[in-house]
Structure 1
Amino acid sequence: MKKLLLYILSVFALSSCYKDKGNYDYVDINEVSITGIDSLYTVNYGSVFSVKPTLAFTKDNGADTSAYRYMWLASLDNTGQTANVDTLSYSRDLEERITLTSGKYDVFYRVTDKKTGVTFGRHFMMTVVTSVYEGWLLLSEVNGKSRLDMLSKGTEGYKPTYDLLGTIGAGLTLSGLPVEVKFARLTSAASGHTIYVSTTTGTHRLDGETLKWKSPLQTDFFSDLPAGFYADKITSRTATLVYLHGNDGNMYYYMYTFSIYFGLPVNVMYGQSMPFKVSPFVAYYNDVSNSTNTHILYDMEGKRFVKHIYSLPAYCTEMPAGTMFNYKTGKDLVYMETTRFNNGDTYAILDSAHAKYYLARFNIAANIVQTYYDEMPATAISQAENFAVSPDMGYVFYNVGGKLYEYDASTKQSKLMIDYGERSVTFLKFDGFMATGLTGAKSYYNKLQVGVYDPSLPADSCGTFELYTVPGVNGNLILNESYTGFGKIKSITYRER
């Protein structure tokens, strides 16, 4: 496609007549009406894109196509550029194979009457997608090794690509057991989008657009990593901010806005020099417009919540006094997750010597406010393997083997939602999206994501990914979508757009 240097106007025809400079009379001209073009199209990369507009003329029937010039132009959306516009076609109808880079484009169709030189036009949006443009990434165990699969969103829904890295020739062969896969935005620009893939032999970064291998984790660090290091949990709630917990028991922090890069551990109390052993969980302020607010970590040795704020990026500080419970809990943290429930409540499940379990909730806004604290007499809670919290209902979901439970804090009761029998649950999650306005998040932010393992099936196809709607008043789960053919699912993330 030929590149042109020109300025695209969103309004192509400013008048339906022109002034005769000799006598200043106005003369009617041939007007062109353009219909039959939708406002938005999604096109697969490499496919033929066809648009056949309907043209109506006020001075002729339009049969003489030589009397007009036609042009289809495409420019990347929201780039602010008025140059390097791609010309898709010079024909009346568009019938071209699209080889533009994946992304969203402003497309302009122009029809010029050669006799008068007046141009008429229509504008629409076109999204070019590839097989890895958007969708679910699933990291699974297959015969003692790791495999990355993808459910790619296309024009006809989600389709699986098994062994994604091998299929696309990513230049990376995974070894070791699966740990985590995570989509993150290191910068707000598309070039800052990345996928981290962790196994027990290391963490690698994939290019956000092509999903091909880009670099080992070490290149993102300003300090040397110990041998055998890998990230066991990555928290990225907003663009430009990432918390990374390593298998060395330390937490590392990245914030592009303030030029803070992964380096020394941040799990150090202010005024001290030795790191404390920190939990992999991070609590935060749920409002994405204020991503620089306080974050909460958990000191596993001191058994207490602590604050980490951007103004003291290398240290943690003490929490304020609590109104419902002491932030120095003296208990082990089993699970912690910030949710969208109650405008951003963080849920923390605490274990008191394996005898009693407690549910603590607090909200991080202008102040840190405690919203709930009570014993959690949930069925078989001491054996729970995975947890997730509904952003709509606030129910806590957890599994014990193949039994999936829902715990309602208002009634302090558990309900067995699904009994998978000989199968087991290997993954539970809600949300995980940057913002609910994003394409995938609109449909899935409040769906329960479940990974199910069937030991009777071959190792390379023993996993199923299920998506459920959670009704109110403890209603039964409603299965929305189910996909098969994966390994034993360990971690899932969504490549957002």
Structure 2
Amino acid sequence: MKKLFLYILIAFALGSCYKDKGNYDYVDINVVDISGVDSMYTVNYGSILSIKPTLNFSKDDGSDTSAYSYMWMASLYSNGHTDDVDTLSRSRDLEARITLTSGKYNMIYRVTDKKTGVTFQKSFLATVITSVYEGWMLLSEVNGGSRLDMLSKGADGYKPIYDLLGTIDAGLTLTGLPVEVKFAKLTSAASGHTVYVSTTGGTNRLDGETMKFKAPFQTEVFSVLPDGFYTEKITSRTNGSEYVRGSDNNMYYYMYTFNIYFGLPVNVMYGKTATFNVSKYVGYYDNVSNSTNVHLLYNMDEKRFVRHVYSLPNNCSDMPAGTLFNYTTGKDLLYMETCRFSGGDTYAILDSAHTKFYLARINIASNIVQTYYDEMPATDLAHAENFAVSPDLGYVFYNVGGKLYEYDAGLKQSKLMIDYGDKKVTFLKFDGFQGIGLTAAKAYYNKLQVGVFDPSLPAERAGSFELYTVPAVNGNLVLNESYTGFGKIKSITYRER
């Protein structure tokens, strides 16, 4: 390839001429100008990609197609380099059924003058998408079992695919009650993207591109897991990093960069050998480039926060002295979440004998700093079922049955935002995106995600998924989007692109 471009460069440097070896005279070459090709195409897997370029020749009208050869090539783009070149066609125009795996491709169209051997080319990009290429994935309970649905993103918005695994013949039948669905990036490459589906019947990994069954979670763990094991919560901080809290009350850790794979539990205090019962929640700092390398875990046996340094994965250590509260709280951890508010604060709701509740905030950006601690006199908090924290405004949302509340720590009071009546809120969440630079993340990271269940409808279509904008100064929620036809929604994740 380098020789070919060098030859073309020399030819143009000599005044668009080439040297006839027989008489040593220089003659003008036939220059081919290629136009009529867009810079970017999006094509559905299995559909026809049709491109009819305009070719202008300096020496003829191009009507003699036998005087030229043509080639259309595609190469999967990944991390700044290309691999696995596929030839799509050798015709002047492209009219090809695309069966490339989903992803972004560098495309090249080449026209070669057979007489001179000089090649001219046009480069562009193409994205191949499938019905499962991008979108919301929803795990629901239906008639005592589990069902995975998807809101697939297309040119006309999001369209539902009910019973995704059955619809695409994924090779997996879910058993047990739903626990969690989670999109994760085991590596930054597309081949490392995956979706975990966890039920009380087990946790399985789906291929991130096809959503077909790939492997049980147990095959990724280098230790013996108990019978009936499933993952209760997966916290994916960034590309190639995961914390997994299992049904055995242990926390497992993976980090691709340091070649750390799921092995022995990390919920062991330094200098000890016995594990402690660890909460499923993990606190972290969102910006990896400016991190203390610390993750927050909660020792449920001793009722205290501990720290786990991700580059030293074998154990946990004590927290430093606190300025607002003792990290050995003596309280139960009701909920913990890291959000983007206030530079990445971790919110923790602490339960004191189920009579008083406290809100603690910890920031571990450049140092471990306690930023807030006070009693949380929120309405009916003892009966709260789901929680979420606004990444823009820091409000804490929770529900009691069909009542959805917003708690303002500045005012130290709750506001009833929505009363769904006989319907039940089954899911609350903000964000969940590994970054906010992508299109979907920009649009949705600060939207409140709500799962609502209507018991008056058939179980297989009684659930709805709603997305709200949260206004400042305790303004009423604004409904942006609503989708129906799901089961009782337990967990939602977004398959990012």
TM-score (norm. length: structure 2)? 0.92
**Is 1:7–1:82's contact at 8 Å kept on the other side of the alignment?**
no
Q: Structure 1 CA distance, aligned partners of 2:105 and 2:246?
A: 39
Aligned counterpart, 1:3: none
1:113 aligns with 2:118: no
Pairing of 1:1-400 with structure 2 (within 5 A):
14=9, 15=12, 17-20=16-19, 28-78=28-78, 84-289=84-289, 293-400=293-400
**Is 1:12–1:119's contact at 8 Å kept on the other side of the alignment?**
no
Equivalent position SS for 1:404:
strand
The structure-2 alpha-carbon separation of the partners of 1:59 and 1:9, relative to structure 1 and needing over 3 Å to count, comes to: closer
Q: Shift of residue 119 of structure 1?
A: 2.6
364-373 or 253-262, larger mean C-alpha shift: 253-262
**Is 1:7–1:83's contact at 8 Å kept on the other side of the alignment?**
no
**Is 1:338–1:347's contact at 8 Å kept on the other side of the alignment?**
yes
Aligned counterpart, 2:425: 425
Aligned counterpart, 1:479: 479
Q: Shift of residue 57 of structure 1?
A: 3.8
**Is 1:46–1:97's contact at 8 Å kept on the other side of the alignment?**
yes
Q: Structure 1 CA distance, aligned partners of 2:137 and 2:69?
A: 46
Letter in 1 for 2:273: S
Q: Shift of residue 13 of structure 1?
A: 6.1
Q: Shift of residue 392 of structure 1?
A: 1.6
Equivalent position SS for 2:265:
coil
**Is 1:8–1:82's contact at 8 Å kept on the other side of the alignment?**
no
Q: Structure 2 CA distance, aligned partners of 1:331 and 1:8?
A: 71
Over residues 432-487 of structure 1, what are the superposed CA-to-partner deviations in whole Å (9 max), with x where a residue is unaligned?
11111234323222221111111111111111111222222323222222221111
Q: Shift of residue 315 of structure 1?
A: 1.2
Cα RMSD for the two superposed structures: 2.5
TM-score (norm. length: structure 1)? 0.92
The structure-2 alpha-carbon separation of the partners of 1:88 and 1:79, relative to structure 1 and needing over 3 Å to count, comes to: farther
Number of equivalences: 492
Over residues 108-146 of structure 1, what are the superposed CA-to-partner deviations in whole Å (9 max), with x where a residue is unaligned?
112233444333222111111122222221110000001
1:448 aligns with 2:448: yes
The structure-2 alpha-carbon separation of the partners of 1:50 and 1:291, relative to structure 1 and needing over 3 Å to count, comes to: farther
Letter in 1 for 2:361: R
The structure-2 alpha-carbon separation of the partners of 1:220 and 1:333, relative to structure 1 and needing over 3 Å to count, comes to: same
**Is 1:292–1:310's contact at 8 Å kept on the other side of the alignment?**
no
Q: Structure 1 CA distance, aligned partners of 2:317 and 2:6?
A: 56
The structure-2 alpha-carbon separation of the partners of 1:437 and 1:81, relative to structure 1 and needing over 3 Å to count, comes to: closer
The structure-2 alpha-carbon separation of the partners of 1:8 and 1:17, relative to structure 1 and needing over 3 Å to count, comes to: closer
The structure-2 alpha-carbon separation of the partners of 1:414 and 1:13, relative to structure 1 and needing over 3 Å to count, comes to: farther
Q: Structure 1 CA distance, aligned partners of 2:82 and 2:235?
A: 37
**Is 2:351–2:358's contact at 8 Å kept on the other side of the alignment?**
yes
466-475 or 25-34, larger mean C-alpha shift: 25-34
Letter in 2 for 1:360: A
Q: Shift of residue 48 of structure 1?
A: 0.7
Q: Structure 1 CA distance, aligned partners of 2:141 and 2:64?
A: 64
Over residues 159-184 of structure 1, what are the superposed CA-to-partner deviations in whole Å (9 max), with x where a residue is unaligned?
22111111222222111111111122
284-293 or 326-335, larger mean C-alpha shift: 284-293
**Is 1:237–1:432's contact at 8 Å kept on the other side of the alignment?**
no
**Is 2:258–2:311's contact at 8 Å kept on the other side of the alignment?**
no
Aligned counterpart, 1:413: 413
- Structure 2, unmatched stretches of 5+, are none
Equivalent position SS for 1:257:
coil
**Is 1:30–1:57's contact at 8 Å kept on the other side of the alignment?**
yes
Q: Structure 1 CA distance, aligned partners of 2:8 and 2:457?
A: 64
**Is 2:290–2:365's contact at 8 Å kept on the other side of the alignment?**
no
- Structure 1, unmatched stretches of 5+, are 1-5
**Is 2:20–2:27's contact at 8 Å kept on the other side of the alignment?**
no
Q: Shift of residue 290 of structure 1?
A: 6.1
Identity %: 74
Q: Shift of residue 368 of structure 1?
A: 0.6
Q: Structure 2 CA distance, aligned partners of 1:8 and 1:456?
A: 72
Q: Shift of residue 42 of structure 1?
A: 1.6
The structure-2 alpha-carbon separation of the partners of 1:226 and 1:99, relative to structure 1 and needing over 3 Å to count, comes to: same
Q: Structure 1 CA distance, aligned partners of 2:169 and 2:460?
A: 19
Q: Structure 1 CA distance, aligned partners of 2:395 and 2:72?
A: 52
Q: Structure 2 CA distance, aligned partners of 1:489 and 1:251?
A: 25
